[in-house]
Each structure stands twice: as C-alpha cells, then as structure tokens.
Amino acid sequence: MDDVIAALQEVVPVVREEPGCLAYVPHIVKGKRNKNTIVFYEKYEDQAILDAHSAKLPTYFKNVFPHIQGNIDIKVCEEIV
C-alpha cells in the first residue's frame, strides 16, 4: 500500500491539472473487510473529458498496476441532488 500511495502522490497533482477535471480524490477505505482498498472520487466537466482522462490511465498508473491484486472494480455514479 505504501508503494501505491507514493505513486498516487506523484500522479494525483498531474490529473488535477487536466483541463475539465473538477475533482480527483483518492481515499483509503478503512476496516477489516476492505483492507488495501482505494476508492477514487472523480468528477469531470463532461463525458469527452472523462474519456480523454481514461485514455491516459495506463501511463498514469504504470507504477500502481504492478501492486494490484485481482480486478479493478469500476463503478460510475450519478449525482442525484
């Protein structure tokens, strides 16, 4: 987890500077069942900007992917209020 956090500390400021990025905040989930889980809150101006960001993930996460065990679980949420 320490290596992943170190990698994120480098990439998060870069992502936050992307045009159209409104929020990009990684969180560590606490608790026994979710040990070593990170959740990202991300918000972009529109779908095209999110798509452009997503295309850069292999580059951004090249130092994170080697530490991931299992699948990445991506969920898309929509604001209701």
- pLDDT for 60 equals 93
Q: Which residues pair with 26 in a beta bridge?
A: 40
The strand pairing partners of 24, in sequence order, are 42
What pTM did the predictor assign? 0.84
Find all residues with CB under 8 Å of 57, minimum gap 6, and list them.
Answer: none
- Residue 32: per-residue pLDDT: 81
The domain spans of the chain are 2-67
The domain defined by 2-67 folds into Alpha-Beta Plaits (3.30.70)
| Confidence category of residue 75, pLDDT binned at 50, 70, 90 | confident
Tens of pLDDT, residue by residue over 10-60, are: 999 999 999 999 999 999 988 888 778 899 999 999 999 999 999 999 999
Distance, in Å, from the CA atom of 15 to the CA atom of 24, rounded to the nearest integer, reads 7
